[in-house]
Structure 1
């Protein structure tokens, strides 16, 4: 018969083996995902532009160079890794605006022009390469809001109008009108991130009263009800709470990268909706930044442009979430 000390030793050794195995598995996830640098943007270096995708076609409009607010519109073709200039936005040049697309049409509005917060809204038809002004956003003029298209409707909410906000409005392209919705249950904020998964919009991050927000919410596109999810700081090793992050969807998962929580962040996190949990992936491999833009469609995602304390960028990176990390472009 084994002694008590032998049994205790065996039990401790087994526990240490299991713990080591778990740690190794978690560490491996940080080496999964690969960032590949693509072409350089052909317009001026900039940050806080707005991006939208229509039928797999990616568009970028506006932004701020550090010296000038912009109104140019560009289309990116991921198949040829090339850019084409389209019709300039005819409204006031701006940055920190929002954009979304519904049924082949894009919608663009709010933002900041260097002096004024804005509330005007416009539509863009890529088939005619033309802009039209529509009914203005009915909330207060603001910037650093967020927007998304979901189940044939557009949604705009949160942002900064002199103070942070948490209200939401729905746009119906059929009636060309806006409807006020109930505010979501989290704190007011600006600079939040959002991605769409399985008919739900997931919202988190941003800043309010100088504090980086860690609550995380889902909006059901059918019932229009908000459900609180696991907070971004639920575990000590989560570095999720951040402002002006880049967020996108790939292969049924959500992803968040870049942004700032008082310092620039490059960590990349993958959200698993069935588990309401996050895995850390390979960190962004370019220069750290905030105010980037994102394109994603057809299981391809691109993060581009942005700024740090002294530079505006013109590079574009594609993320491959299930490839092994490779430190070469």
Structure 2
């Protein structure tokens, strides 16, 4: 997100706007002073606002506003609880407002509306109460600018509705979500498509979760994007962003793209010209690649130090970020209690270096990890800020099952995923951790709070010199192997190996100075202090590759054949 120039017309709610590729036109709504009638143009390219001719009548909430060619049509809506039925045309070229034929089919607010070709379409909405009963419409109309008249179309074939969102695409109109005929949520987030040629409606797939009151939507290429809105059943306000592909004819139509689709007739902007590894759990992940070329090398997390007792010859990283990403798990919202945890298994000893949390505001929280027997193995307090927080846990977890990670304290808003797909669990994190469920009565329906885990495998029992005063001190060594060397001790000249090996002495600055005078004594005094297999285990086996650790610091790889 990038902040642009503030709207100069003052703060308000229920403002409306329409846009083309160059300008957005914004106005109406309400504030503490009433219902403004100012009208503004926003220059999208230059990030500039310009005030236009004021609307010549009263401002309003919840009107219909539709851009058709070089005209903006606006009408209906409500003022102080009274519905309106007027209809107006704003001429963009002339900067003038003209009143048109009234909408004579019942004053209303919060209708559904869209444009197809040269015509605005309007219907549905919240009408005036009849005998104290709520009145929600399911009728539908087309306005003909050339004749300044309204044409009644077929009624909508399902439940009347209000306060959803609408859009048009490829000469089809769409209505999405909203409240039903009792002004309560629809049974689902219904999506309907209108065909102006046949004057018929077709129901498509509902959006995930429950229906929403007053969401927002926009179309880019072949996708509609849905965001925000209010879900009455759970008293939830959303700030997520989900999308839906509107046609199977959409795809890449460019022959030069990696993902060219011969069957596509509508270009959806997906054409890809950079190939590479697109799997983020690969060591060669290319964030710029949009087409996977099969080159991905999976991350194998483990100890890559050959001198450690838990050395893993297949490991290519000992620390890495992994899933899950909150965007990959579907819709979500902020949640406000500390009762529920995520349950996970740990396949080997690991350090959870960090996790991400999304906070709605600034507050303090404790993060707790408990084991199978409800023993607390980790507890730490953190200060959260609004937005994304990368929390440094450094929690050392032993191999085991049924750990739980959760929060303690007043939760003032942490993001969770709602109604996730049934096949999400278990969530595998680099074969080290598996997140299996949550602790609610619906253990597979929600994902709570903890995203983008960073895992680290610590190398154990690393042999080397542990004396910080030694010239060959190894800061990674955990077990001293008796090889520490000091000023005046023998050393091997860096870069000399095999039959060309050269010996020297450590000086007071721990520099290995050439001295070959005692070559024979070096050879005679050198001792093998340990033999290791490729997993770092002590061994004397034959017919296997082993590594000999010498007292002079040399490590030799050998194959003994019996």
Shorter-normalised TM-score: what interval? Answer: 0.5 to 0.7
1:121 equivalent in structure 2: 39
Q: Which runs of 5+ in 1 are unaligned?
A: 1-82
1:295 Cα deviation from its structure 2 partner: 0.9
2:66 equivalent in structure 1: 148
Q: Is the 8 A contact 2:18 2:67 kept in 1?
A: yes
Rg bigger for which structure?
A: 2
Q: How far apart in 2 are the matches of 1:208 and 1:137?
A: 23
2:2 equivalent in structure 1: 84
* TM-score normalised to structure 2 length: 0.41
Corresponding position: 1:217 with 2:141 = yes
Q: Which of the numbers 241, 257, 262 marks the counterpart of 1:316? A: 241
Corresponding position: 1:259 with 2:183 = no
Tell me the alpha carbon deviations over residues 143-201 of structure 1, each in whole angstroms, 9 at most, x when there is no partner: 11121111211111100013101111111122211111111232111000111112221
1:255 Cα deviation from its structure 2 partner: 1.2
1:105 Cα deviation from its structure 2 partner: 1.7
1:270 equivalent in structure 2: 193
SS in 1 for 2:86: strand
Map residues 265-304 of structure 1 onto 2, 5 A cutoff: 265=186, 266-304=189-227
Pair 102,221 (structure 1): closer, same or farther in 2 beyond 3 Å: farther
Q: Is the 8 A contact 2:70 2:93 kept in 1?
A: no
2:494 equivalent in structure 1: none
Q: How far apart in 2 are the matches of 1:220 and 1:286?
A: 37
1:208 Cα deviation from its structure 2 partner: 1.0
Q: How far apart in 2 are the matches of 1:99 and 1:124?
A: 10
1:247 Cα deviation from its structure 2 partner: 0.8
1:221 Cα deviation from its structure 2 partner: 4.2
Map residues 69-218 of structure 1 onto 2, 5 A cutoff: 83-101=1-19, 104-114=22-32, 116-162=34-80, 163-209=82-128, 210-218=134-142
Q: Which runs of 5+ in 2 are unaligned?
A: 129-133, 249-329, 331-419, 425-562
1:256 Cα deviation from its structure 2 partner: 0.8
RMSD value, Cα: 2.1
Q: How far apart in 2 are the matches of 1:185 and 1:252?
A: 26
Q: How far apart in 1 are the matches of 2:28 and 2:22?
A: 21
Ranges of 4+ aligned residues in structure 1 off by more than 4 Å: 326-329
Q: Which of the numbers 141, 146, 163 marks the counterpart of 1:244? A: 163
SS in 2 for 1:85: coil
Which structure shows the higher helix fraction? 1
1:114 Cα deviation from its structure 2 partner: 4.9
Q: Is the 8 A contact 1:96 1:144 kept in 2?
A: yes
Q: How far apart in 1 are the matches of 2:220 and 2:147?
A: 25
Tell me the alpha carbon deviations over residues 239-284 of structure 1, each in whole angstroms, 9 at most, x when there is no partner: 2x21111111223221111111222122221111111111111112
What is the number of residues matched between the two proteins? 240
Q: How far apart in 1 are the matches of 2:221 and 2:73?
A: 22
Pair 223,319 (structure 1): closer, same or farther in 2 beyond 3 Å: farther
1:314 Cα deviation from its structure 2 partner: 0.7
SS in 1 for 2:7: coil
Q: How far apart in 2 are the matches of 1:131 and 1:218?
A: 32
Q: How far apart in 2 are the matches of 1:114 and 1:288?
A: 30
Which structure shows the higher strand fraction? 1
Q: How far apart in 2 are the matches of 1:121 and 1:159?
A: 16
SS in 1 for 2:17: strand
* TM-score normalised to structure 1 length: 0.68
Q: Is the 8 A contact 1:106 1:124 kept in 2?
A: yes
SS in 2 for 1:283: strand
